[in-house]
């Protein structure tokens, strides 16, 4: 039986956003998950990912950023996105406390959502660790425009889960960034995966693709708990 989802409404400044919390029995950890720039929290990739995490004993909370909730296409500026992250993490902590869960609280995100999580952590948001599902290190074709400066000050465990064909992260450059962060950061490649983790010649529904990423994420999160 999949863990049932509980719909939540979160206040981010003057706006409200949707969230969904799911908790298996006796979860060992909670992972808060943010969407990428082009899709919201109900995208099958994310629902498949969080459902699979629930099946591995991890509670989850997915949420929308304000721009997505309002139907806008252009992502929120970092101050708004960071505020949303703080609210979502607080909501997940409240849910864990309500159920008496004492496991760690992690932050994870697809692309933009993961980068905003890292920026929130750099500004002091508490998280046991960070998981990046396709970190957008630079715009496609523009490896000189790196989005890495804030990463070097982070001391929590970090998992970079990245497709080897992802145009948002040149493999050699990302490997160097992760090496410079130090031993707290781990880089795991999905061979042949693009920015959405689709593998050429392997047709899979987005939900299945998302679910396939849950085992390495759960192993990392629970291994650090």
46 and 18 Cβ atoms separated by less than 8 Å: no
Contact of 83 with 67, CB cutoff 8 Å: no
Domain count, the chain: 1
Q: Which residue in 113, 110, 39 sits closest to 81, CA to CA?
A: 113
Q: 173-190 pLDDT, tens per residue?
A: 999 999 999 999 999 999
pTM above 0.85, yes or no: yes
Assign residue 197 the CATH number of its domain: 3.40.50.1820
**If you search the block for the tokens 């929308």, which residue do you land on?**
64
pLDDT of residue 200: 85
- Work out whether strand 105-110 and strand 29-34 pair parallel, antiparallel, or are unpaired: parallel
CA distances from 148 to 109, 186, 217 (A): 16, 15, 22
Domain membership of residue 112 as a residue range: 5-223
Give residues with Cβ within 8 angstroms of 11, minimum separation 6.
87
Q: What is the pLDDT of residue 3?
A: 81
pLDDT given at position 80: 97
Query: Quick check: 34 and 114 in contact, CB under 8 A?
Result: yes
Task: Compute how many other C-beta atoms are within 10 angstroms of the C-beta atom of residue 4.
Answer: 10
Burial of 71 (0-12, 13-18, 19+ CB in 10 A): exposed
**Residues, the chain:** 225
- Among left, alpha and beta (phi > 0; psi -120 to 50; other), residue 111 is left
pLDDT for position 201: 85
* pLDDT (tens place) for every residue of the chain, 225 residues total: 678 899 999 999 999 999 999 999 999 999 999 999 999 999 999 999 999 999 999 999 999 999 999 999 999 999 999 999 999 999 999 999 999 999 999 999 999 999 999 999 999 999 999 999 999 999 999 999 999 999 999 999 999 999 999 999 999 999 999 999 999 999 999 999 999 999 988 889 999 999 999 999 999 999 976
Rounded to whole angstroms, the Cα distance separating 13 from 214 reads 32
Cα 49 versus chain centre, distance? 10
């Amino acid at each position: 039986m999949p863990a049932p989802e509980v719909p939540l409404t979160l206040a981010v400044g003057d706006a409200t956003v949707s969230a969904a919390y799911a908790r298996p029995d006796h979860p060992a950890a909670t992972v808060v998950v943010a969407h990428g720039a082009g899709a919201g929290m109900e995208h099958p990739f994310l629902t498949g990912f969080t459902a699979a995490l629930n099946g591995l004993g991890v509670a989850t909370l997915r949420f929308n950023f304000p721009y997505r909730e309002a139907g806008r296409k252009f992502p929120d500026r970092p101050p708004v996105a960071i505020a949303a992250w703080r609210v979502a993490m607080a909501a997940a902590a409240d849910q864990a406390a309500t159920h008496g869960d004492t496991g760690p609280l992690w932050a994870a995100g697809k692309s933009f959502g993961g980068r905003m999580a890292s920026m929130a952590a750099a500004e002091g948001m508490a998280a046991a660790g960070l998981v990046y599902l396709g970190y957008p290190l630079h715009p496609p074709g523009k490896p000189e425009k790196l989005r890495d400066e804030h990463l070097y000050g982070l001391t929590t465990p970090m998992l970079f889960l990245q497709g080897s064909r992802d145009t948002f992260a040149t493999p050699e450059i990302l490997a160097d960034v992760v090496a410079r962060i130090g031993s707290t950061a781990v880089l795991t490649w999905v061979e042949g995966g693009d920015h959405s983790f689709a593998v050429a010649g392997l047709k899979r529904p987005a939900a299945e693709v998302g679910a396939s990423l849950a085992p390495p994420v759960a192993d990392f999160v629970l291994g650090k708990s």
